[in-house]
Chain A
Amino acid sequence: MIIRYLFAVCLLCFASTAQAVSLSSNIGDERQSYAANPGNTETDPSWQPYSPFLKTDGAHFWYSHKISVYHEPGETVSNPLTLSVRLNGVFDFYWDGALIGSNKYLGKSASQYSRVHIPVSGLSEGEHQLKIHIVALGMRAGDSSDLRVAVAAVKSDFFGVHPTVVSTFFIATASLFLAGYLTVTLRTGRQRPGNVATIFFSIAIAMVVLLEDGRFLFKYPYGWQSFLDMLQPPFAVMFFILLTWLVLTRISYPNRLAWMVVLPVSLAISLIETGGIEHHIRLFFTLSLFLLALSSYGWYRGYGNARLFAIGFALAIVALLLDLDKGHLFLIVITVLFATDLAIDMRQQGKNAIRHLLMSERLRSDLIKRNVQPHFLMNSLTALMEWVETSPDEAVNFIDGLAQEFRILDEFSERRSVSLKQELALCNIHLTLMGQRLASCFRLEASSVDTDQQVPPALFHTLIENAFSHNDYRAFEATFVLTQETTASGRILRLSVPVKNPHSSSHSAGLGTRYIEARLEEFCGKAFSFQSEMIGSTWVSTITLNRH
């Protein structure tokens, strides 16, 4: 069936377009007789031009509108015409004086959304009279009746999908996002840029949709609507600010705060009236254009995931042009854009988690290998063979020390941190063993350090091992010194080792250094620095651990 309805505008009543529609209203329920006598609305001066705002508390209204119906040539009308109605209050619809529909909610609360059918018999070609009787139960003077009537499945619906489905989709998606970002934030400890902002962004979307469309989904007292309407603008402002901030953050744009200027500029441009397009749609459009430009530039400069956002906003603008009326398609594209960003990010997080796991496993394996490091172990065993054959008592002492060191290293291999006290115990055992092997005397001085603090396992042990690899300590008395300094940003630990060998200046980023850096990264992420340098006649390793 093809029916061409000549409505003055498809939507009968919109706050912003009401003046263009020849609607009249009259307050008071004594006017019910007008339903059967439509002509009175034009002659009776008590009928006023339409205004969406109530003049008295709990007002009763009559709205009247003339509608012309045209049929295509040769067309037979076989289905009723369905009107989609949205309204704060109780209503009765009259078509040419006959009651055709009512929401029948005469209680204290009601769902706003309903549909009214115009029977086939009433759809004859020509002019018809539509009258709506409204009882604004629970609403106060100044509140908006928010009356909207449209032909169902033409304009009021989103591409044939019932508005409640669209609303539910948005609320569900926003809630899922909220849960997703909360999970990511809890898992990553706020490491992901924009996580917290995205949580509030999801809340803002959910609240705007809920406040806008909740009336279709839930029953609540009519009187709540005006209060709920007042809550909507702050969430809308929050939505726009966070949308802009998030895009800039996710692209890793430099000077983000300065670039936020695109939002007030977009707002100013969107104030320019354009052909009946609603203000929020104009703002969507202008802001999207700016964000598209920024992400495209970011893509060109190779910033973060700018390419994703450039493509996303190009599609969002196309979506907005296809659905200029409500912008639902635009919001769906934005939703998919952020979902994609989150999915890519979570995939990356997964990869990082696996990488960290592998790193931890590798570090454990490194520490275990340290137990059987050939140079140390085989030389120790050779020394042991010699003692067994020439001085058994020495062999017993050495085996005892070696066993203690292996036991501690074995225990450390399963841990990501140990107390400095345990670490120093390990270092002292190692120094005693090396002293016995090299016929020397080594001492570790660590009087001014907090031995309860946690440090990565075998950190200083590795530095001491490095010292033995680079120095010829035979028949030498050496004191290793560990000091601590507390700063505003954290703590600094310094290990000074004596140098006794011309080759010692060639300390390099060998396996030991890489082990230390990997252990520190596992221990505190990027919140550390590690430096080694020759100062005077000592080699100083400085480890800075920042608060994180």
Chain B
Amino acid sequence: MSFNLLIVEDEPLVAKRLSRLSTDILDDQISALHLAPDLDAARNLVSSNPIDLILLDLNLVGSDGFELLKEFTSKAAHTIVVSAETTRALEAFEFGVLDFVPKPFTRDRLAKALARFWKPAFANEPATRQIAFETGTGFDVVSTIDILYFKGADKYSEAMLKSGAVKFHTKSLNRLEDILSANFVRSHKSYLVQRGAIKSLRSLEGSRYEMDLVDGNSLPIGRTRVDHVRHAISAWGGQNG
């Protein structure tokens, strides 16, 4: 599987290093590699190309790192932060980045980060706690515990919030699962459910299963995913004590 990579970095030598090492590591897995030295160039490239992975520097000239995080994690592509500011690592993970690569970085460290595109989360990493949604005028940041579940909609997703509101996210359900698996379970090919939203599981006639939610609604559970859901609920129950 090949993909499109975007490097957003204003330091020429760092951009050159990222580009050189990424090409070296991924080789023919990269179908296109784009370089953006500033925010405007990055925005243009994202809007005009199907970008799959973004390597993002949080210290672009004249930009606020927090705003960059919100903006880029709301995109369909996965984000890996490459930054000197290690103090922002936790914040980055809470926004759902795949990895945080501190500068200076070696080839091995970058290779490890890029590998997460295929094998995302590590159990001991901070869970994603906030999701940024693009709006017409900017970004809405929503806490993950305020989301009941995500519903797949073609290449995109819809988030059902506890408040009853519905929000649209450009990431596919698969990519959301990559960054949300610590607190969400994929119960169906079209549903990714937040652990706090699950009230109970019910078996129906014909070996079918349903999941009752705290808001009174029910969602179907895929036949092949029943064990996975039970296992996740059991693991969370253990964590909850």
Contact = CB atoms under 8 A, between A and B. Distances in A.
Interface of A: 374-375, 377-379, 381-387, 390, 437-439, 469-472, 474-475, 501-504, 506
Interface in B80-129: 84-86, 102-106
Interface in B113-147: none
B85 A375 contact: yes
Contacts of A438: 11-12
A408 to B, nearest CB: 22
A469 B17 CA distance: 21
B13 A375 contact: no
5 contacts: A374-B85, A382-B105, A386-B13, A438-B12, A472-B10
Contacts of A474: 10, 12, 37
A386 B16 contact: yes
Nearest to B82: A382
Contact of B103 (A379, A387, A501): A379
A384 B104 CA distance: 9
A439 B86 CA distance: 26
Contact of A437 (B11, B38, B61, B86): B11
Contacts of B62: 470, 472, 501-504, 506
Interface in B24-63: 37-38, 59, 61-63
Nearest to A471: B61
Given A438-B11, A469-B61, 13 more contacts: A375-B59, A378-B104, A379-B11, A379-B14, A379-B84, A384-B104, A386-B14, A390-B20, A470-B61, A472-B37, A475-B12, A503-B62, A504-B62
B96 to A, nearest CB: 23
A432 to B, nearest CB: 15
Given A471-B61, A501-B61, A383 B13 contact: yes
A381 B84 CA distance: 10
A267 B20 CA distance: 92
A387 B13 contact: yes
> Which range holds the interface residue count of chain B?
20 to 34
Given A374-B85, A375-B84, A382 B61 contact: no
A116 B87 CA distance: 88
Contacts of A378: 84, 102-104
Contact of A439 (B12, B38, B104, B105): B12
Contacts of A475: 12
Nearest to A385: B104
A379 B38 CA distance: 16
A504 B10 CA distance: 15
A380 to B, nearest CB: 9
Nearest to B59: A375
A322 B212 CA distance: 91
Contacts of A439: 12-13
Nearest to B61: A472
Contacts of B85: 374-375
A379 B12 CA distance: 10
Nearest to A503: B62
Contacts of A437: 11-13
A506 B62 CA distance: 8
Name the residue among A374, A390, A471, A501 with the largest chain B CB count within 10 angstroms.
Answer: A374
A35 B38 CA distance: 115
A382 B10 CA distance: 13
A385 B106 contact: yes
Nearest to B40: A502
A403 B84 CA distance: 20
Contacts of B13: 382-383, 386-387, 437, 439
A475 B38 CA distance: 14
Contacts of A504: 62
Q: What are the 3 closest A-B residue pairs judged by CB atoms, nearest first?
A: A503-B62, A378-B84, A383-B13
B10 to A, nearest CB: 7
A437 B102 CA distance: 19
Contacts of A384: 104
Given A382-B14, A469-B61, A501-B62, A377 B84 contact: yes
